[in-house]
Amino acid sequence: MTSAGREPRYRGGQAVRGSLAYDLDWAVRERELRHAGELPRKKNQAKAAPKVHAAPRVQVRERQYVSVMAVLGVAVVAVLAVLVLLHYVQLTLLAADTAALRKELATLETENVVLTAQYEQMFDMASVKEAAAAAGMRKPSASQICPLDLSGGDSAVVYQKEEPGFFSRLLSSLHGGVYAVVEYFD
């Protein structure tokens, strides 16, 4: 503290003359004033020990735990990525099949036009009448014609196929997906 009879400098309830700014060096000056007449203290110096280079201290972070929700989120994202990949594989296969089927359809339509033209050339009505007359065929007489009575009601029987259950559809879908992946990589 302060010596008796002397008031602390720059402190107290006295009127202030000058600046009201806080004096940051006040404590240093007070310590120098208290120890003004003393001799400097000598530290006991021991023998200088040989310098040994110590390994630098490494700060180790605390172990951080991974949230279960984070692991589940990563797992869900991975599963969805695999499913997207499988659907792209399926889409690619379907696009290739569609292109092949369209090409086959165009070929078959061309072949149909050629065959229809050949059919019409081979079987014109004059040649059919000649072949029928040569075989002994003739038109039916009026006594050979019998009318068909359609005045009764119509009836039909419809058979429906049973729809597969959820698990059988799921298994067939998984089988198709695995087959598509294997076929894609072969």
Residue 2 maps to a domain: no
Residue 103 maps to a domain: yes
pLDDT number for residue 48: 62
Q: Report how far apart, in Å, the C-alpha atoms of 136 and of each of 55, 133, 139 are.
A: 119, 5, 10
- Write the Ramachandran bin of 12: left for phi over 0, alpha for psi from -120 to 50, otherwise beta: left
pLDDT-derived band at 8, boundaries 50, 70, 90: very low
Better-predicted residue by pLDDT, 49 or 169: 169
pLDDT in tens, 47-102: 666 677 777 777 888 888 889 999 999 999 999 999 999 999 999 999 999 999 99
- Residue span of the structural domain in which 122 resides: 97-134
Three-class DSSP category at 141: coil
* Residue 2: closest CA among 21, 29, 25, 24: 29
Domains held by the chain: number? 1
Residue 156 maps to a domain: no
Please, what is the end-to-end C-alpha distance for the chain in angstroms? 91
As given in the structure block, the two tokens for residue 136 are: 């002994």
Residue 129 maps to a domain: yes
Q: Report how far apart, in Å, the C-alpha atoms of 12 and of each of 3, 9, 16, 154 are.
A: 15, 8, 9, 120
Residue 183 maps to a domain: no
Q: What is the mean pLDDT of residues 23-38?
A: 80
Residue 123 maps to a domain: yes
Residue 126 maps to a domain: yes
Residue 105 maps to a domain: yes
Q: What is the mean pLDDT of residues 132-138?
A: 90
Average pLDDT, rounded, for the chain = 82
